[in-house]
Structure 1
C-alpha cells in the first residue's frame, strides 16, 4: 500500500514534493507503521530498487556465471510487472537522488557480474551501468515497444560491444 501511494504521489507531483505524512495518509497507514519499516521515503524507494537488483542477481546464482540474456529479460519483466512504480521513479518526475542511486547500483552490478577487465572496469562498468539505466528509462517511457527479451537482447549486445571495444583499446 505504501508503494502504491508513493507511485501515485510521484506521478501526480514528482518525487521531491510528497512527504511521509502524505504517503501514509494515501496508503491509510500510520506514520508509526511506516517508520517501523523505513527511515523515510528515500529508504522506501531504495528498498524497492534494491529488491529489483536482488531479483536480477538472484536469478544469476552464485556460481560466478555471467548473466545471460534470460537473466536480463527477467529483470525487464520485473520492471514491467512494477511498471507504475518504475515509470514514476525512472521517468521525468523521479528525483535526481534516485537517478544517482540507480546509476551507481547498476554500475556496481555490472562491475561484479559483467566486466572481466581489471584495469578499465571502472570506466566500462560506469558506462554500461548508465546504458542500462537509459534502457530501463527509455523502455517504459516509450510504451514498452518491445518484449522484455528483446530489450534485454539489445541492451546486452550494446554492453557486449562496449566491453569488447574497451578490451581491444591499447593500454
Structure 2
C-alpha cells in the first residue's frame, strides 16, 4: 500500500470515528459510550481504533488539540491590537465547523472532563497571549503581567468563553462567528479594565 493510500485510510477511519462519537454522545452521553459501540457505529475494527487512539478521551483530546494548535498558530502570526482579534473569529469559525461535536461534548450529555480540558487550555492561552491580542487591555503598563500570572483572571476568562460557546451552540448560533468573537472580546476587555484597578 502506498503512503498516500495509507494516509487516506487513516483519515477516513478518523472521520468515521468522529462522526460515530458525536452520534453516540447525542444518544447516550459521553460517559456511557464504549469503544465497542464506537467502532461498531463507525464500522471500523477495534484494531483500527487503537492504531489511532488510546481510548475515547484520547480521541476527543486529539480533536481539540488540532483546534488549539490551529488557534496558537494563528496567534503567532498575528499582530497586536486587532479588534476583534481575527484569531478569535477563526476560533469561533472552527467551533461552528464542528458544531455538533462541541454541542455534544459541552451539553448536558457531554463530558465534564472535556469542559475542564477546554477551560484549562483556554486559560493557558489567555495567560500566554492575552495581552496584545485583544484580550487584556490595561491602562497600567506593568499591570497585565500581574493580572495574568494570577490564576483567577485567566480562569474567569476561560470559563466565560466556554459558557459563551455553549450558549451560542445551544441557541443555534444566533450570531456569526465574528459577532460572537466581538462580544466576547468586549466582555473580556471590560473585565481586564476592571481588574486593572485592583491593587
TM-score range for the pair, normalised by the shorter chain length: over 0.9
Q: 1:27 aligns with which of 26, 42, 51?
A: 42
RMSD: 1.6
1:153 paired residue number: 182
Structure 1 segment 156-167 matched on structure 2, within 5 A: 156-167=185-196
2:10 paired residue number: none
Structure 1 segment 34-49 matched on structure 2, within 5 A: 34-49=49-64
Bigger mean CA offset, 119-128 vs 3-12: 119-128
1:120 paired residue number: 147
- 1:11-36 CA-partner distances (Å, limit 9, x unpaired): 00111011011111111111111111
Structure 1 segment 42-121 matched on structure 2, within 5 A: 42-61=57-76, 65=80, 68-69=83-84, 70-115=86-131, 117-121=144-148
* Partner Cα distance (1:52, 1:35) in 2: 22
Bigger mean CA offset, 52-61 vs 24-33: 52-61
* Partner Cα distance (1:40, 1:51) in 2: 17
* Partner Cα distance (2:164, 2:48) in 1: 35
Secondary structure of 2:175 counterpart: coil
TM-score computed with the length of structure 1 as normaliser: 0.93
- 1:120-141 CA-partner distances (Å, limit 9, x unpaired): 3222111111111111111000
Q: Which runs of 5+ in 1 are unaligned?
A: none
Q: Which runs of 5+ in 2 are unaligned?
A: 1-15, 137-143
TM-score computed with the length of structure 2 as normaliser: 0.80
